Chain A
Amino acid sequence: MEFDKKSLLKLGKLARISISDDKLNNLSKDLNSILEFVDQLKEIKTDQVDPTSNALNQKLEVRDDKVDTKNSAEDILENAPEKEMDFFVVPKVIE
């Protein structure tokens, strides 16, 4: 069992998702099943193979360095759950 209670809670911390106790059992079963499924790849030899991160063989273009007026603070803040002046408001971070 790769995903026991302790490792699941750690994973939840890394992913910033709180996992309640009543969900732990099912989640552990599901994730172990997925892991077992993908583990079949271990049998394939890949020592001489380069990884593919993107199927498109295209050089990334550099755009012109010019100023535009898109993305105003007002636009960006429009959907903020909580804001003040030009800032997003979050719970206090520093005591």
Chain B
Amino acid sequence: MKDSYTLKSLAVLLENNKISSKELTSEYLKNIENGKELNCYNTISQEKALIDAEKSDKRRKSQNLRSKYDGIPIGIKDLFCTKGVTTTASSKILSNFVPNYESTVTQNCDDAGLISLGKLNCDEFAMGSTNKTSFFGSVKNPWKSVNSDIELVPGGSSGGSAAAVSADLCVASLGTDTGGSIRQPASFTGTVGLKPSYGRVSRWGIVAFASSLDQAGPITKTVEDAAILLDIISGHDEKDSTSSVNPKENYYENLNSDIKGMKIGIPKEFRSDKLPASTQKSWDECANLLKTNGAEIVEISLPHTMSALPTYYIIAPAEASSNLARYDGVRYGLRVKGNDLIDMYEKTRSEGFGDEVKRRILIGTYVLSSGYYDAYYIKAQKIRSLIKSDYVEAFKKVDAILTPSTPSTAFEIANEPSDPVQNYLNDIFTVPVNLAGLPGISIPYANDENNLPIGLQLITNSFEEQKLLNVAKNIEETINYSETPEKWWLK
């Protein structure tokens, strides 16, 4: 996407007074208006964004900038609580919720002078990989197969965040990733999606799904932009007891694409006959490219890979059932009248939650219930230890691991598998990373025979985001992926 804006290029344009924040913000608001058919935004903060842009222009004039990126507008997944701006988690139960506090991540963005264009559509409570579980309807992928009019899913749960960046409805966005919700939609839309290590970014003020897995991260057009946004949002936060006290690095400043002498692992358990030939080809090509650029390619084994998805579908619903107990119609959100207190709870939750959310709450309640707790929940936590130790062993031998991001490219919105487990398989390559608490990034590598983006995933050890970004940068520089979707929504 060399010709379109990036955080880096916009910072230069603003610095040289080639464009004002107000002009830039107006331009994106116009793109959003013209791209309404994509259904990326749940809330557009038209008025507030323009006021904030004017304030940024004033700061620039008085040389009182909050950061180099002051005045650049971005999009925010509708899972981050934003003071005075409706925050719905794409759920009916929160459709009227206006927080009176600001999440740490969005506060960090504000502290850097970034401007919010609005709140981006996602799967309900971030549960899904298609964006189809949103109460506000599916997001449409800006990409379509060549010579086809069929609408495709953008992936999920951060589907709006990824589609908006891909369609130029914002230059960069914030997403969250519990089992692949940043990397999978990034892969489906030809964008860069980074899930930081668990604890690198504060979870405070983000609508909770599965607290031991959730992490916020950037979706951007380039690896450099991912580093820039990670610099802005990461760091210790005393409001989140699980946020890491490890000092963060200057990811953008220290970006270095030299990978000579590095060891890159290819996990044999990720190989599959079911992988599309074009994805397999990209994966092989990329490994060769890293070798040409000076890295050593090492075959590794992560023996418990196939257990990660079922483990995730015990742990994530268990945590979700507990986290979502707070939606009871008493303190905020939807209330449906009932004959008594219990009836009110049951009716509110039955009407307020969508089918996928209910399925996960029910499964979560089941695996935590008396008599099943040890057999399911504790068992899954033990297997989580085995998965984590696979990676601990692997990172004794290699610096980074290269895999495909997803088992397929984007698929039809209308093509709904009747079995929920079929949908879960979308996250088979991304879920282990969350269970092990590691950082992972999806970068666009090539387009397949239908002209749909193929993403590849890099994984490093905990808190080695710098190394992760460096290897990603090396690949990006070498391949120079520059495909953009045809803007069919601009009729």
Contact = CB atoms under 8 A, between A and B. Distances in A.
Contact of B349 (A11, A16, A46): A16
Contacts of B242: 54, 56, 58
Given A27-B359, A55-B198, A14 B382 contact: no
Given A61-B241, A79-B332, A80-B332, A37 B421 contact: yes
Max chain B C-beta neighbours (<10 A), residue from A30, A60, A93: A30
A66 interface: no
Contacts of B262: none
A88 B100 CA distance: 17
Interface in B292-311: 304, 307, 309-311
Contact of B362 (A15, A20, A52): A15
Given A17-B353, A33-B420, A33-B421, A79 B331 contact: yes
B28 interface: no
Given A33-B421, A34-B363, A50-B382, A17 B358 contact: yes
Contacts of B388: 52, 55
Interface stretch (B180-188, B335-343, B472-480): B335-343
A52 B98 contact: no
Interface in B359-387: 359, 361-363, 365-367, 369, 375-376, 378-386
A37 B338 contact: no
Which secondary structure dominates where chain B touches chain A?
Answer: helix
B47 interface: no
**Size bracket of the A interface:** 35 or more
A85 interface: no
B436 A16 contact: no
Contacts of B378: 51
A15 to B, nearest CB: 4
A88 B338 contact: no
Interface in A1-26: 8, 11-20
B249 to A, nearest CB: 18
Nearest to A10: B369
Contacts of B252: none
Which secondary structure dominates where chain A touches chain B?
Answer: loop
Contacts of B420: 30, 33-34
Interface string B210-247: 00100000000000000000000000001001101100
Contacts of B362: 8, 11-12, 15, 17, 27, 31
A82 B326 CA distance: 16
A91 B244 CA distance: 42
A63 B212 contact: no
Interface in A35-66: 35, 37-42, 44, 46, 49-56, 58, 60-61, 63
Given A11-B366, A38-B376, A56 B244 contact: yes
A5 B358 CA distance: 16
Contact of A46 (B330, B365, B383): B383
Contacts of B382: 46, 49-52
Max chain B C-beta neighbours (<10 A), residue from A38, A41, A44: A38
A90 interface: yes
13 contacts: A30-B419, A34-B359, A37-B309, A40-B310, A44-B304, A44-B307, A55-B438, A56-B198, A56-B242, A58-B244, A58-B245, A80-B330, A81-B330
Interface of B: 96-101, 198-199, 212, 238, 241-242, 244-245, 304, 307, 309-311, 313-314, 321, 325, 328-335, 338-347, 349-350, 353, 358-359, 361-363, 365-367, 369, 375-376, 378-386, 388, 419-421, 424, 435-438, 462
The 6 closest A-B pairs by CB, nearest first: A55-B437, A51-B381, A79-B332, A81-B335, A46-B382, A18-B346
Given A90-B330, A91-B339, 14 more contacts: A15-B321, A16-B342, A16-B346, A27-B358, A30-B359, A30-B419, A33-B421, A35-B363, A38-B310, A46-B383, A51-B378, A52-B385, A56-B244, A61-B238
